[in-house]
Amino acid sequence: MTGRTEREQLLADHFDAFHRARAASRLVSALYAEAMGDGYPAEVAPYSSCDRALLTIAMARLQLRPGEHLVDVGCGTGGVGLWLARALRVRLTGLDVSSAAVLLAAGRAPGFVPAERAAFRTGTLEATGLQAGTVDGIVCVDALANAGNRVQALAELGRILRPGGRAVMTRAGAPGLRAAVMEQARDAGLAVEFIDERPGEPAMWGRLYRLWQAREAKLRAELGDDQADAMLREAQRMLPRLPVREALAVTLRKPGPAGGG
């Protein structure tokens, strides 16, 4: 990806370091698994809130048919999109601002789907680089918060969706989130089709953040001080917010009749 803004370049650099460090650490994945318990999707190995329940929601809400085109926006190392591509028998394009994440995702792809069914590339939420109306479904897990302009990002997802296509994304925030979701979707020209509550998500993050704090020394040894400090700052910042946090899986639909896949 070329022509990045300063903000986009800073974000790319941040996530390049993030993904390289975590890819070399067994501890980080083990802590996510401990925090999620039975809900941890080991094949996905997420660095997000994606649990088995969310995968089930995405499968049902996307309503994709075999051979259709799924885009995982903010794909990270690719686990969510690859798992869904295999389960739904669809083609996948994974998109992330981090070139390091894209390389890691491409390396994982053969374990899920044939090579011709998965491709990964750099891009942003506001500028995917994909052609208009060429996408049947979108999944976006814990990534919209990184957009500089959320309405612009949603409008870009609507641009690449075919009429009748759906996007399933996670949203989280303070009370009043539902109203913000509805307003942003309307301003982007998308319809809110379903809102599924994720009542266990705040508690999962609480367990994970406390595990990070308890394993500080080991995290520093595996990840280095910069990454460990970033994780500990996140935990300190977010833990007080969790008691009032609302977490949702939102299904958006592009108006218009569904076309053939």
**How would residue 140 be classed by pLDDT, with cut points 50, 70 and 90?**
very high
The pLDDT assigned to 253 comes to 98
Domain membership flag for residue 12: yes
The count of domains in the chain is 1
Pairing relation of β-strands 246-253 and 191-197? antiparallel
In a domain, 258, yes or no: no
pLDDT at 2: 52
**Dist. CA 242–CA 205, nearest whole Å:** 8
Range of the domain at 233: 6-253
Predicted TM-score (pTM) of this structure: 0.95
The answer to whether residue 217 is domain-embedded is: yes
pLDDT at 259: 58
Query: Residue 105's domain is classified under what CATH number?
Result: 3.40.50.150
Residue whose C-alpha is closest to residue 247's, from 191, 181, 149, 154: 181
Q: Give the helix/strand (H/E) hosting 127.
A: none
Residue 22 has pLDDT above 80, yes or no: yes
| Average pLDDT, integer, range 33-45 | 98
Structural domain contains residue 259: no
